[in-house]
Amino acid sequence: MTPGARTARARDLRRRQTHAEALLWQYLRAGRLAGFRFRRQHPIGRYFADFACLSLRLVIELDGRIHDGDPRQLADHQRQQEIESFGWCVLRFTNEQVTRSLPAVLAAIREQVRLALAREGIETEVEATVASPAGTRRRAALHARRTQDGRVVLGFKARRSWRLVEVRECPVADPRIIRAMPALTEVAAAFLEHPKSAPTLHVTWTLSGLDVDVTGVERRSGGGLSADAQMRAIAAAHRADLARLSLAGDTLVMARQPKIGFGPATVPLPAGGFLQAVPQAEAAMVERAVAAVKGARKIADLFCGAGTFTFPLATVAPVIAADASKAGIEALKAGVGSAKGMKAITAEARDLFRRPLTPYDLKGCDAIVFDPPRAGAIDQTAQIAGTKAGVVVGVSCNPQTFARDARVLIDAGFRLERVTPVDQFLWSAHVELVSVFKR
């Protein structure tokens, strides 16, 4: 079979998947099982595996009733032997097991993942995925375009495309954002002044209402928005009752300071500042980080942002916090006086990629939490490895860079005790991981 024919065959098999395959795929796709990526109908030798994880060399096969007869069982046995001859481990389940006993199936797969990691010298517990409820995402990036008939539409870009898909309903987003779409469309219209502008409205639901930061506005000619366009944008923001409207982080108008709750503290959110997308997912990650550092005498929170983990950690022990965002650090400092019962917090604006905190800087910290961007934190991780910390909690939105950084800690004597996948971005290719290392 030619490569093109194999691709076409795999695509056809994916289109004709069974109900059990579709159900299991929702729990395997996009790295939702401890960050490990599976493929559907992956070609191995003469066969197409139902599900395959290349990094673990693990195949999962689902059998329907047609597989019950002796001739088919013999064919399945031969198929499994050939797949295993290529160095793969094969797990088999029936469709009925998936539809009636899915938790047991997922537990068996997680155990196989644990064993595969153990063969690589990584002993860990893979916990069940924490799924975010629908309708809870408090952040959305809405792209604005003007159609040929002059209408302004808001929506999402199609995958790997400039094509805009207009959004009127969204099962993922907080309903309060969706209800504001007509008013947000009016706001967006003011930013389409220049024909080359392709505005994106970064919309966040805060304790004070909607906070909107607009990027993608043409600035190269004419100096950006005209005074008239700015006035139209501000008027539309007032009609939409926005807490704040900003352009690339510069505030245009603020009716109320957007605020966010982090643990016992209330923090003023910087314009365009980072915030976890789903409160429930954030709470799950914070809960696991705090539980892991219980008993610590001093904690470091690296890549701290405006204090997502800092304030909950400060209920356990004094915290030193660092992040490259000066606005984030200023917001964190402003939130320190808003809560009682916390230990001391020391915050520093510092680029941890160019100037990672050294073991000397982290002296006395027996627990460290780090939550880097998708690029990971290889240099900072190397410095953490040289500290005397007994507990390290890593939060990652990229399984690949997580594995790289984890190896640095493991080689330094840490053991990876457990990994918890958090499905913060429903129906997307992204997953968060919370990992606990100890030594």
pLDDT at 73: 66
Kindly state the DSSP code that residue 336 receives in the 8-state scheme: G
Extract the tokens encoding 173: 């987003």
Report the C-alpha dihedral over residues 30, 33, 39, 42, rounded to 10 degrees: 180
For residue 156, give the nearest of 146, 168, 138, 147 by alpha carbon. 168
Q: Is residue 150 helix, strand or coil?
A: coil
Q: What is the DSSP string of 157-205?
A: EPTTSS-EEE-S--SSB-HHHHHTHHHHHHHHHTT--STT---EEEEEE
pLDDT at 220: 59
CA 223, distance to chain mean position in Å, is 35
All structural domains of the chain, each given as residue ranges with its CATH number in brackets, are: 3-120 (3.40.960.10), 139-259 (2.40.50.1070), 276-438 (3.40.50.150)
pLDDT at 102: 85
Which H or E run includes 130?
A: strand 130-131
Q: Please tell me the distance from the alpha carbon of residue 246 to that of residue 271, in angstroms, as a whole number.
A: 7
User: Which residues are the active-site residues?
Assistant: 397
Residue 174, C-beta contacts closer than 8 angstroms, at least 6 positions apart: 135, 136, 137, 138, 205
Q: Please tell me the distance from the alpha carbon of residue 166 to that of residue 146, in angstroms, as a whole number.
A: 11
Extract the tokens encoding 403: 């594995």
Q: Please tell me the distance from the alpha carbon of residue 169 to that of residue 232, in angstroms, as a whole number.
A: 26
For 91-172, where are the alpha helices, taking DSSP H only? 95-100, 102-119
| Contact status, residue 132 vs residue 268, Cβ threshold 8 Å | no
pLDDT at 197: 83
Which pLDDT tens digits describe the chain residue by residue (439 residues)? Answer: 788 888 888 888 998 888 899 989 988 887 777 777 899 999 998 899 999 988 788 899 998 765 444 556 667 788 888 888 888 888 888 898 998 888 888 888 777 777 766 766 677 777 877 888 889 999 999 999 998 898 999 999 876 678 888 988 888 999 999 999 999 999 999 999 888 888 999 999 999 999 999 999 877 555 578 889 999 999 999 999 999 999 999 999 999 999 999 999 999 999 988 899 999 999 999 999 999 999 999 999 999 999 999 999 999 999 999 999 999 999 999 999 898 889 999 999 999 999 999 999 999 999 999 999 988 899 999 999 999 999 999 999 887 788 889 889 999 999 999 888 888 887 765 778 899 999 9
Considering the entire predicted model, what is its pTM? 0.78
For residue 201, give the nearest of 277, 144, 151 by alpha carbon. 144
Extract the tokens encoding 384: 């953490």
Q: Please tell me the distance from the alpha carbon of residue 334 to that of residue 268, in angstroms, as a whole number.
A: 7
For the chain, the 3-state helix, strand and coil shares in percent, each to the nearest 5, are 35, 30, 40
What's the length of the chain? 439
pLDDT at 423: 82
